[in-house]
Amino acid sequence: MVIRIAAVGDVHLDEDVVGRFRPALEELPGSADALLLAGDLTRHGTEAEARCVAREFGDLGVPVITVLGNHDHQCDQVPQVVKVLEDAGITVLEGTGVVVDTPGGRLGVAGVKGFGGGFAGRCASDFGEPEMKAFVRTTRESADALADALLSLDCDALVALTHYSPVPDTLAGEPLEIYPFLGCYQLGQAIDAAPTALALHGHAHHGTERGTTPGGVRVRNVAHPVIKQAYSVFHLGGDQLD
């Protein structure tokens, strides 16, 4: 049996672009069992923009699961944004997970926004000023929450959903100087600590689609500017991922 997952991130919706994705989204029930959104749903994280997201991604006939991105935090209206999305039937994850029954089996999705910090040999360390320690502590706590959520799920296929990248592979194409602000190795460690089948993220608009964690988990950057379509579809449970 195969579980079909549609995914996209970084759609940055507001009133100017609402409706752009809807025609393709209405075809989802024929091609996917669930839709995963990898953050940056809005431009500035306002309640009004969240209503645009609810209109675009609500009532699609398949479960919709999301994490928030850095843009969704910009206006400090996260509780309002989350409420609007959840009222539209969209599941919002942050250090939490959900299991969805699909025709192909039980799909488990654990999600967290994630944070920056960098990758092996080129990463921030928990040393020095309180501000630097707080930065690295945020990174570590986010990754720990993802690991706990992944390990808590009883399912047939396990997916990690983040906004920030867990590996540098999918950042290729971005300036090296900003890698530490696009992801962190701790997320990759969390993904490798569980029997994760697939990791999805966004955030890196100029990055690369495919990567792999040190433990061999397949990673896909589904940011809309990278995949250049309404969503990509992945198949879990057979010999092929996509």
Residue 231 half-sphere exposure, CB side, CA atoms within 13 Å? 27
- 8, with CB counted inside 10 A (0-12, 13-18, 19+), is buried
Asked if residue 131 is part of any domain, the answer here is yes
List of residues 6+ apart from 23 with CB closer than 8 A = none
For the chain, how many structural domains are there in total? 1
Q: What is the mean pLDDT of each run of 10 residues along the chain (242 residues)?
A: 96 94 95 98 98 97 98 98 98 98 97 96 90 95 98 98 98 96 98 98 98 98 98 84 56
Asked if residue 82 is part of any domain, the answer here is yes
Do residues 40 and 10 touch, judged by C-beta distance below 8 A?
yes
Asked if residue 173 is part of any domain, the answer here is yes
Quote the pLDDT of residue 239. Answer: 53
Reduced to 3 states, what is the DSSP secondary structure of residue 214? coil
Whether the full predicted model's pTM is greater than 0.95, yes or no, is: yes
**Residue 113 token pair:** 């926004």
| Integer Cα distance of 55 and 72 in angstroms | 16
Of residues 113, 107, 92, 111, the one with CA closest to residue 32: 107
What CATH number did the domain enclosing 97 receive?
3.60.21.10
| Integer Cα distance of 171 and 67 in angstroms | 19
**Residue 169 token pair:** 């592979």
Phi-psi group of 216: left, alpha or beta (phi > 0 → left; psi -120 to 50 → alpha; rest → beta): left
Q: How many CB atoms lie within 10 A of CB 120?
A: 9
Element (H, E) at 38: strand 34-38
Reduced to 3 states, what is the DSSP secondary structure of residue 53? helix
Element (H, E) at 232: strand 232-236
Asked if residue 186 is part of any domain, the answer here is yes
Dihedral sign of CA atoms 146, 223, 196, 110 in order: positive
Asked if residue 187 is part of any domain, the answer here is yes
Asked if residue 241 is part of any domain, the answer here is no
Quote the pLDDT of residue 126. Answer: 85
Distances (CA, A) of 59 to 78, 113, 230: 22, 24, 16
| Residue 172, domain extent | 3-236
Asked if residue 205 is part of any domain, the answer here is yes
| Integer Cα distance of 115 and 31 in angstroms | 32
Asked if residue 242 is part of any domain, the answer here is no
State which amino acid sits at residue 74: Q
Quote the pLDDT of residue 122. Answer: 87
Partner residues linked to 90 by β-bridges: 64
What length does the chain have? 242
